[in-house]
């Protein structure tokens, strides 16, 4: 199948992956090869076949509506990434560049 | 000591012939000596391991030991272990100290086993050679120019090189079985849903399954006894009666029907591998089995189906790695979008990014029906093939991998070539069936060959029996690599 | 009017469970940031979702209450997009197979202008599905950064989608109000709009009569009915003006600014989101058995409408009926008290002397809306914390209706019951509050007063009606408040008017 550079750019943006021009070109070649592999299955007639999402035909189990988790903010926020040398948490909140709506 | 079975080690520990601290130290020393060459481990922490060993020694002294108490086990670095760095082979989690234990880790802890360290793996379990790890390649202990297989390459290497008594692995498309075959050890991926995935970093949720890697089927049974069981925190975990996987090891094989799929013995299979597998089949005939020719007609589509479904699920599972709450965040960015894009582009390796892109594409608007839905339908057909086959035979056998271990860097340029090395193992994951690989000899270059055994759902005890009887009659699994790293 | 307005609503209701939809973290509002964000809520590597039964039961309850089809099998799907308040990079929702199918809601529309009469309308509900809420972004106070609080991430939501059946702001508001009342009534959502428990997105489009449907714009996150009405009015006018000036309406998400009263398209990129929905492989299909369905159906309370009809039939005014049925607790307290009142006559026939249920209902309604509510307000309590039970209240009211105690005595009994507990009949014995209904005593008393106050009697007989109150006061004082007021009044009037 033929992917264009623009196709690759669009996918990269959807997946939040920064890619340079040359990276896009390289990805295009490799992805095209992989899609050729995948294309084999498209010709198969699957009319009337039920898609298989899970190995066993089991139903979702329901959990009792109880609070079971305790506050572990300190432990979890010790994992927060750093930016310019300081951990990106303040007043118990995670910090990210401002989002403008 | 290093060639003892888990049962023998357990007996020695309980008899006081050796302490867990001593045994753990033996392995830690061996890791110190060999890991610089083999790179099987990403993280060790001798203080923590020995502290656990001391706890085990207390249990042993008080007569409160279980079969694996005091035994040092290597954990694939995909399992979150509280207080341990857990990297999943990725720069994205290079400094991630897991704040909780995976269910599998809890089970080993409760059994009194010792966590010997975290083994190297293909990044986010995506790979068949352990060459995609951010922490460097793992060498095959039989030949340092060869790959150990992947993604559980570190665990396979550690077992083969006696750098642990046994190890855990995970298998999404063959990641336990293929490295087991390439490293000349035994490995089992049980039926989907029998081992909890809670705390096991997700790659492809409907295909991932944890399993065991060790030097014999006997050992695998003891490991499964600890690892399996219901976990309420995993919705896909099955509620079943507890099983003793060792219960049928000694049963004679007379009357066993072994199915040989013609598709597993077709073009693409290396001659030396075929030779070893055929010899193994002959041995099974001697043990009283009958051979049935079967067909898995849709198995030829397993690889393309897998490379739609697994990347699709992965592309979504890996979206949480965004540099916000944990993991790698890029050092420079001007806004939120750039922060995401750079953190992920820099934190993930090439193979991971490739698969995220494939997955994103096949799920995207307009392509879902043609790719994802179609793949799920063919998946059903593949599962039905096995269903039909198991009406004609008790177990299915064939080669685990089309060739012995290839050289490091050999399949670097073409991802598709790499994908095709999973050609015999992938269908098993798609159907959710249990699969094993056991040593069946050596190829023309002295590199190990694996025999794959596939069972019907929940047939692990039978498969282990089938493997064990073969291992009583042969000695491939007893062989160990000499002159490791030279 | 040449223009037709087409409105549909998507309402996100936070379900009133104790824990989150996919984990056991607490859902309590107002906690310190990220103190209710467990491993699952912050999407640590390796965590997995497990479905909360309470969320499922509430979804079923809603479906039953609107007469909807409950899907025997429904599926959870991942909606993929990147945003800092969405820790997994996807929201677990339902796409193809939602848990609740088509239903309907009958609404009473009060036209907002003109003198048109209120009218009834049925709004069809397309579907309702379960999903998880996202966290919160705080944009101020962080020196150019945004702060993320994930306490709310994972709170269960039921997204209720209507057909575009509404054709005016009045209808949209009526629908929203009715839905709001319903979810609170059946106990699945606390409806607290300030806290974000009930959030409305309104899809608005306009078209000329006979033309095909116009392009719609979506007004997001309206959390007050007043704002909803203002936003719709503005948006409709804006769309009409735009088209009449030759412009085109482009699909957009808009926000309403309450300060300016205007709607404005959000600044996000023009690309439509590609959510790449697919069934969540970490969750299995949700199969709702007939057992679960019946178990939930048994907990469904009598509907607000049925109760209202019953109260109106009992003679209670429409206004008071609305107050009594504003909350299920109030209506159920009323019902329980009425039952206990009627039950006190177990075994007795309804005779002419036995008050009918209408009289009991009237008294009870006054007391509940009056004294009981006032006292609760004074003490900052809600009805579930009322120290008086329906049985106690009923016991007291019975004595009022049958004349054993006067209304003012009843107030004293009420105060005692409230603060000290006890039953009315015991209290009136202890305090000697039984009123005098002995006609002879009253006649004698009145005669004495009339004899003692000839000047005022003369004033009254000359036409100064106000003096009557003077006599009432004297009589009450003389009887130490125990005289039956009705009887006293009757005797006073009779004798003052000159009869014997």
pLDDT in tens, B22-34: 999 999 999 999 9
Residue in A59, A60, A98 nearest the CB of C146 = A98
Q: Does pLDDT of B449 surpass 90?
A: yes
Contacts of C80 in chain B (CB under 8 A): 316, 319, 363
Contacts of C36 in chain A (CB under 8 A): 69, 71
CB contact under 8 A, B360 and A11: yes
Angle at C116 (CA atoms; ends C115, C122), nearest 5 degrees: 155
pTM assigned to the model? 0.90
CB contact under 8 A, A34 and B307: yes
Residue in A12, A42, A55 nearest the CB of B370 = A42
Query: Cβ(B182)–Cβ(B447) under 8 Å?
Result: yes
Q: Does pLDDT of C348 surpass 60?
A: no
Q: Does A83 touch chain C (CB under 8 A)?
A: no
Q: What percent of chain C has pLDDT over 90?
A: 62
Task: Give the pLDDT confidence score for residue C272 in this predicted structure.
Answer: 63
* Region label for B432, one of left (φ > 0), alpha (ψ between -120 and 50) or beta (otherwise): left
CB contact under 8 A, B206 and C281: yes
Q: What is the C-alpha separation between B415 and B410, in angstroms, rounded?
A: 11
CB contact under 8 A, C145 and A99: no
Task: Find all residues with CB under 8 Å of A94, minimum gap 6, and list them.
Answer: A77, A80, A88, B324, B325, C34, C84, C147, C148, C150
Residue of C nearest to A97 (CA): C145
Task: Give the pLDDT confidence score for residue C464 in this predicted structure.
Answer: 87
| Residue C310 CA, distance from chain mean position | 18
Query: Cβ(C286)–Cβ(C99) under 8 Å?
Result: yes
Number of H helices and E strands in chain A, helices first, is 3, 5
Query: Cβ(B461)–Cβ(B247) under 8 Å?
Result: yes
Q: Does pLDDT of B20 surpass 90?
A: yes
Residue in C42, C46, C48 nearest the CB of B235 = C48
CB contact under 8 A, B202 and C283: no
- Going by pLDDT thresholds of 50, 70 and 90, the confidence category of residue B366 is confident
Q: How does DSSP classify residue C140?
A: S
Residue in A17, A37, A42 nearest the CB of B416 = A37
Tokens for B256, please give them: 């066993």
Residue of C nearest to B196 (CA): C48
Task: Give the pLDDT confidence score for residue C444 in this predicted structure.
Answer: 80
**CA–CA min distance C57, chain B (Å):** 18
pLDDT tens across C178-230, in order? Answer: 999 999 999 999 999 999 999 999 999 999 998 999 999 999 989 899 999 99
Averaged confidence pLDDT in chain A: 92
* Region label for B69, one of left (φ > 0), alpha (ψ between -120 and 50) or beta (otherwise): beta
Tokens for B472, please give them: 């009583």
pLDDT tens across B209-247, in order? Answer: 999 999 999 999 999 999 999 999 999 999 999 999 999
* DSSP string covering C257-296: ETTTTEEEE--S-SSPP----EE-TTS--EE--HHHHHHH
Contacts of B202 in chain C (CB under 8 A): 45-46, 282
Instruction: Name the helix (H) or strand (E) containing C305.
Output: helix C304-313
Strands C73-74 and C286-287: antiparallel
Question: Would you name the residues of B annotated as active-site residues?
Answer: 76, 151, 175
* DSSP string covering C89-138: SEEEE--SS-SB--EEEEEEE--SSTTPPPEEEEEEEEEEEEEE---EEE
pLDDT tens across C237-263, in order? Answer: 999 999 999 999 999 999 999 999 999
Rg (CA), chain B: 21
Residue of C nearest to A76 (CA): C39
CB contact under 8 A, C147 and A95: yes
**Across B251-278, average pLDDT:** 96
Contacts of A98 in chain B (CB under 8 A): 336
Distances (CA, A) of C177 to B136, B449, C201, C232, C292: 62, 71, 14, 15, 29
Q: Does pLDDT of C269 surpass 60?
A: no
Residue of C nearest to B335 (CA): C145
Tokens for B127, please give them: 């790979």
Q: Does pLDDT of C346 surpass 50?
A: no
Task: Give the pLDDT confidence score for residue C314 in this predicted structure.
Answer: 87
Query: Cβ(C329)–Cβ(C352) under 8 Å?
Result: no
Q: Does pLDDT of C375 surpass 70?
A: yes
CB contact under 8 A, A38 and B362: yes
Contacts of C138 in chain A (CB under 8 A): 93
Q: What are phi and psi of B97, to 5 degrees?
A: -95, 110
Q: Does pLDDT of C462 surpass 60?
A: yes
Q: What are phi and psi of C483, to 5 degrees?
A: -65, 140
pLDDT tens across C133-179, in order? Answer: 999 999 876 788 999 999 999 999 999 999 999 999 999 999 999 99
Task: Give the pLDDT confidence score for residue C359 in this predicted structure.
Answer: 82
Task: Convert B36-56 to b/e letters by CB count within 10 Å (16 or more is b).
Answer: eebbbbbbbbbebbbebbebb
Distances (CA, A) of C417 to B135, C133, C326, C370, C388: 76, 45, 26, 16, 7
Averaged confidence pLDDT in chain B: 96
Instruction: Name the helix (H) or strand (E) containing C252.
Output: strand C252-257
Q: What is the C-alpha separation between B309 and B225, in angstroms, rounded?
A: 30
What is the 3-state composition of chain C as percent helix, strand, coil, each rounded to the nearest 5?
A: 40, 20, 40
| Residue C348 CA, distance from chain mean position | 37
**Across C336-350, average pLDDT:** 65
Q: Does pLDDT of C7 surpass 90?
A: yes
Q: Does pLDDT of A51 surpass 90?
A: yes
Task: Give the pLDDT confidence score for residue C361 in this predicted structure.
Answer: 87
Rg (CA), chain C: 31
**Across B276-298, average pLDDT:** 97
Residue in A33, A52, A81 nearest the CB of B380 = A52
Q: Cα torsion at C159, C165, C170, C172 (round to 10°)?
A: 10
HEC readout, C3-46: EEEEEEEEEEEECCCCECCCCCCECCCCCCCCCCCCCCCCCCCC
The terminus-to-terminus CA distance of chain C in angstroms comes to: 73
Residue of A nearest to C84 (CA): A96
pLDDT tens across C81-107, in order? Answer: 999 999 999 999 999 999 999 999 999
Lowest mean pLDDT among A50-54, B72-76, C75-79, C495-499: C495-499
Task: Give the pLDDT confidence score for residue C136 in this predicted structure.
Answer: 96
Contacts of B363 in chain C (CB under 8 A): 80, 276-278
Rg (CA), chain A: 23
**CA–CA min distance C261, chain B (Å):** 30
CB contact under 8 A, C43 and B320: yes
CB contact under 8 A, A96 and C145: yes
Q: What is the C-alpha separation between B401 and B451, in angstroms, rounded?
A: 8
**Chains linked to C by 3 or more Cβ pairs within 8 Å:** A, B
Q: What are phi and psi of C409, to 5 degrees?
A: -65, -40
CB contact under 8 A, B199 and C46: yes
Size of interface A-C (CB pairs under 8 A): 121
Disruptive mutation site among A61, A91, A93, A100 for chain C (greatest number of C CBs within 10 Å) = A93
Contacts of B331 in chain A (CB under 8 A): 83-84
Residue of C nearest to B369 (CA): C278
Query: Cβ(C282)–Cβ(C248) under 8 Å?
Result: no
Q: What are phi and psi of C384, to 5 degrees?
A: -65, -15
Tokens for A59, please give them: 């139903």
């Amino acid at each position: 199948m033929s992917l264009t550079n623009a196709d690759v750019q669009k996918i990269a943006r959807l997946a939040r992956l920064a890619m340079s021009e040359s990276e896009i070109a390289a990805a295009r070649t490799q992805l095209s090869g992989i899609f050729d592999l995948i294309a084999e299955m498209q010709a198969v007639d699957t009319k009337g076949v039920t898609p298989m999402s899970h190995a066993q035909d089991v139903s979702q189990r329901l959990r009792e509506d109880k609070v079971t988790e305790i506050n572990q903010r300190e432990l979890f926020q010790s994992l927060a990434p750093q930016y310019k040398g300081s951990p990106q948490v303040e007043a118990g909140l995670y910090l990210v560049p401002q989002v403008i709506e | 000591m290093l060639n003892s079975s888990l049962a023998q080690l357990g007996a020695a520990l309980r008899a006081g012939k050796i302490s867990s601290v001593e045994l753990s130290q033996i392995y830690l020393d061996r890791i110190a000596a060999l890991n610089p060459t083999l790179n099987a481990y990403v993280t060790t922490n001798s203080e923590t391991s020995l502290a656990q060993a001391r706890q085990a020694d207390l249990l042993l002294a008080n007569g409160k030991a279980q079969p694996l108490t005091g035994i040092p086990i290597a954990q694939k670095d995909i399992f979150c272990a509280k207080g341990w760095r857990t990297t999943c082979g990725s720069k994205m989690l290079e400094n991630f100290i897991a704040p909780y234990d995976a269910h599998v880790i809890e089970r080993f802890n409760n059994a009194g086993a010792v966590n010997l360290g975290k083994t190297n793996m293909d990044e986010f379990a995506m790979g068949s050679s352990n060459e995609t790890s951010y922490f460097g390649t793992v060498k095959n202990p039989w030949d340092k120019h060869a790959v150990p297989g992947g993604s559980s390459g570190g665990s396979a290497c550690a077992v083969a090189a006696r750098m642990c008594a046994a190890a855990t692995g995970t298998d999404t498309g063959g990641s336990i079985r293929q490295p087991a075959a390439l490293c000349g050890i035994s490995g089992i991926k049980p039926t989907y849903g029998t081992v909890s995935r809670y705390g096991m970093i997700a790659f492809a949720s409907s295909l991932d399954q944890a399993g065991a890697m060790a030097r014999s089927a006997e050992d695998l049974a003891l490991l499964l006894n600890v690892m399996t069981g219901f976990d309420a925190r995993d919705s896909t975990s099955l509620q079943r009666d507890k099983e003793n996987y060792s219960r049928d090891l000694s049963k004679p094989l007379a009357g066993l029907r072994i199915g040989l799929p013609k598709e597993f013995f077709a073009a693409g299979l290396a001659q030396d591998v075929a030779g070893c597998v055929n010899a193994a089949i002959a041995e099974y005939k001697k043990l009283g089995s009958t051979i049935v020719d079967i067909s898995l007609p849709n198995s030829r589509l397993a690889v393309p189906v897998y490379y739609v479904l697994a990347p699709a699920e992965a592309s979504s599972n890996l979206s949480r790695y965004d540099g916000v709450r944990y993991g790698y965040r890029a050092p420079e960015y001007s806004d939120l979008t750039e922060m995401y894009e750079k953190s992920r582009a820099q934190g993930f390796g090439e193979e991971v990014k490739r698969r995220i892109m494939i997955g994103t594409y096949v799920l995207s608007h307009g392509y879902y029906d043609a790719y994802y839905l179609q793949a799920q339908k063919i998946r059903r057909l593949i599962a039905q093939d096995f269903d039909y086959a198991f009406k004609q035979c008790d177990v299915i056998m064939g080669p685990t991998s089309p060739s012995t271990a290839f050289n490091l860097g050999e399949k670097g340029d073409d991802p598709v070539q790499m994908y095709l090395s999973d050609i015999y193992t992938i269908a098993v994951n798609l159907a959710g069936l249990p699969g094993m690989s056991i040593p069946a000899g050596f190829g023309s270059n002295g590199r190990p060959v694996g025999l794959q055994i596939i069972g019907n759902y929940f047939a692990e005890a039978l498969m282990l029996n089938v493997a064990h009887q073969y291992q009583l009659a042969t000695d491939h699994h007893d062989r160990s690599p000499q002159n490791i790293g030279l | 009017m040449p223009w037709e307005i087409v409105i549909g609503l998507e309402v996100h209701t936070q379900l009133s469970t104790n824990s989150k939809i996919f984990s056991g973290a607490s859902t309590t509002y107002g906690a310190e940031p990220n103190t209710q964000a467990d491993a699952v809520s912050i999407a640590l590597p390796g965590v997995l979702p497990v479905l909360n039964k309470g969320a499922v039961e509430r979804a079923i309850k809603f479906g039953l209450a609107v007469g909807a089809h409950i899907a025997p099998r429904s599926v959870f799907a991942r909606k993929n997009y990147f945003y800092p308040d969405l820790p997994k990079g996807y929201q677990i929702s339902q796409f193809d197979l939602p848990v609740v199918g088509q239903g309907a809601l009958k609404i009473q529309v009060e036209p907002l202008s003109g003198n048109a009469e209120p009218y009834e309308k049925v709004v069809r509900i397309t579907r309702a599905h379960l999903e998880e809420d996202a966290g919160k972004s705080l944009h101020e106070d962080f020196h150019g950064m945004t702060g993320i609080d994930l306490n709310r991430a994972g709170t269960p939501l039921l997204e209720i989608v209507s057909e575009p059946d509404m054709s005016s702001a009045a209808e949209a508001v009526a629908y929203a109000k009715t839905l709001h009342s319903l979810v609170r009534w059946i106990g699945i959502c606390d409806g607290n709009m300030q806290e974000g428990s009930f959030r409305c997105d309104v899809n608005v489009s306009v078209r000329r009569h006979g033309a095909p449907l116009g392009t719609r714009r979506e007004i997001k996150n309206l959390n007050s009915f007043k704002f909803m009405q203002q936003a719709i009015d503005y948006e409709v006018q804006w769309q009409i003006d735009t088209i009449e000036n030759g412009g085109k309406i482009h699909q957009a998400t808009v926000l309403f600014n309450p300060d300016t009263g205007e709607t404005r398209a959000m600044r996000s990129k023009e690309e439509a989101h590609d959510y790449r929905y697919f069934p969540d492989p970490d969750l299995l299909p949700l199969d709702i058995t007939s057992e679960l369905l019946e178990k939930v159906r048994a907990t469904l309370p009598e509907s607000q409408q049925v109760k209202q009809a019953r109260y109106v039939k009992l003679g209670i005014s429409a206004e008071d009926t609305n107050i009594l049925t504003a909350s299920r607790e109030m209506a159920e307290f009323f019902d329980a008290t009425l039952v206990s009142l009627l039950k006190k006559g177990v075994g007795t026939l309804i005779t002419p002397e036995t008050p009918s249920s209408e009289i009991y209902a009237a008294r009870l309604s006054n007391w509940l809306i009056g004294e009981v509510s006032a006292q609760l307000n004074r003490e900052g309590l809600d009805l579930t914390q009322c120290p008086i039970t329906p049985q106690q209240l009923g016991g007291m009211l019975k004595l009022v209706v049958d004349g054993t105690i006067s209304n003012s005595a009843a107030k004293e009994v009420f105060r005692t019951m409230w603060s000290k507990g006890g039953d009315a009949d015991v209290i009136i014995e202890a305090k000697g509050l039984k009123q005098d209904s002995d006609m002879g005593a009253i006649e004698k008393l009145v005669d004495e007063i009339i004899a003692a106050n000839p000047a005022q009697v003369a004033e009254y007989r000359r036409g100064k009606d106000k003096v009557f109150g003077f006599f009432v006061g004297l009589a009450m004082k003389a009887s130490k408040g125990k005289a039956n007021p009705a009887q006293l009044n009757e005797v006073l009037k009779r004798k003052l008017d000159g009869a014997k």
